[in-house]
Homo-oligomer: A and B are copies of this chain.
Amino acid sequence: MMVIMKKGYSQAELDSLLSRLEEIGLSGHPIIGVEQTVVGVVGLVFPELKDELETMVGVDEVVRISKPYKLSGRELKPEDTIVNVNGVLVGGGSNVIIAGPCAVESEEQLMATAKAVKAAGAHMLRGGAFKPRTSPYSFRGLEEKGLQILAEARKETGLPVVTEVMSIPDIDVVARYADVLQIGARNAQNFNLLEEVGRSGKPVLLKRGLASRIEDWLLAAEYILAQGNRQVMLCERGIRTFETATRNTFDINAIPLVKKLSHLPVIADPSHGTGKWYLVEPVALASLVAGADGVIVEVHPNPDHALSDGAQSLTFENFEHLARSLAAIGQAVGRPVAGKQMAAAGG
């Protein structure tokens, strides 16, 4: 962080700045030039500090230089993090496929889907038991019953289970059944929940918030990492913009940029990122070549009758097509889809 002093600042103003920095555990290093004085700030700054220092008398402007995140950044840890989910390795150029219905609706529905996606090449199973819905009148999931069904499907197929946890009191029960705890977009800055899933020690799939800048997203990951849980996967699922032709705007730029800034794996969610099933495959493939370590997609035996997100769900047939395409493109870019052995090893 650099603090640019106003022309004609007084020594007392500079001293006041330096002592304020000291108070909060930082140190200031004045660079005094002929026309301008700039103070370099050393130490772990936080985003709000800029605003605070700019209100001080004698200060003209404050400029952030160093990144506010630490544990999620490549500066501290240059090499890729590989998250190990019961033997399925995510990160470092993996090409992992997570598939399943938006919500677990019944044993039949989930089991049929789990078998179909396994057969087509998926490495993990997704499915919501606790569903965040914009309206309290929408279907909100089978809760623990849904988790039990997911666990049965894992037993049957060997696929590790990814499912959302929405609140602190639910962490225990979700962690009992799930292999990966998913934090949804609407909880992307629910900081208490982030810390608690951090403490759970379970691998976490952290979705980007609808209005999260990349920096916000990495700082959200920081909350989990700071609890000593390094098993974090970031998930780009589109941001909210003025475009209404798609449900969200999938931020393809974020994939290579986050891979450059952070060592954490990045998973693409083209189902939520587009909201239209016929855009899922092109955007999934685009994500892979842009550097994503895998995709998470919604699949339903009968999307016409899905209790949620039917419009963006793939049929079994469409999913098979996607899995084949991911394998083919992955081959071309030197990132083959992990074989069945690996997935099986996760059982």
Contact = CB atoms under 8 A, between A and B. Distances in A.
A4 B65 contact: yes
Interface stretch (A87-95, A117-125, A153-161, A210-218): A210-218
Contact of A189 (B40, B54, B132, B246): B132
- The winner among A133, A191, A244 for most chain B CB atoms within 10 A is A191
A20 B38 CA distance: 23
A63 B60 CA distance: 13
Interface string A251-291: 11111110010000000000001111111001101111111
Interface residues of A, number: 116
B2 A38 contact: yes
A275 B274 CA distance: 23
B274 A282 contact: no
Which of A46, A220, A240 is the most central at the interface, judged by chain B CB atoms within 10 Å of its CB? Answer: A240
Contact of A192 (B167, B215, B219, B304): B167
A256 B279 contact: yes
A228 interface: no
Nearest to A102: B48
B40 A29 contact: no
Interface in A214-241: 214-216, 219-220, 222-223, 226, 238-241
B189 A167 contact: no
Given A211-B210, A243-B239, A63 B2 contact: yes
A135 interface: yes
B189 A213 contact: no
Given A136-B222, A243-B239, A304-B57, A274 B290 contact: no
B257 A279 contact: yes
A182 interface: no
Contact of A310 (B52, B220, B245, B251): B52
20 contacts: A20-B304, A31-B36, A35-B42, A51-B311, A52-B307, A57-B304, A134-B189, A136-B226, A137-B222, A213-B245, A241-B241, A243-B254, A246-B254, A253-B274, A256-B278, A256-B283, A257-B279, A329-B332, A331-B332, A332-B333
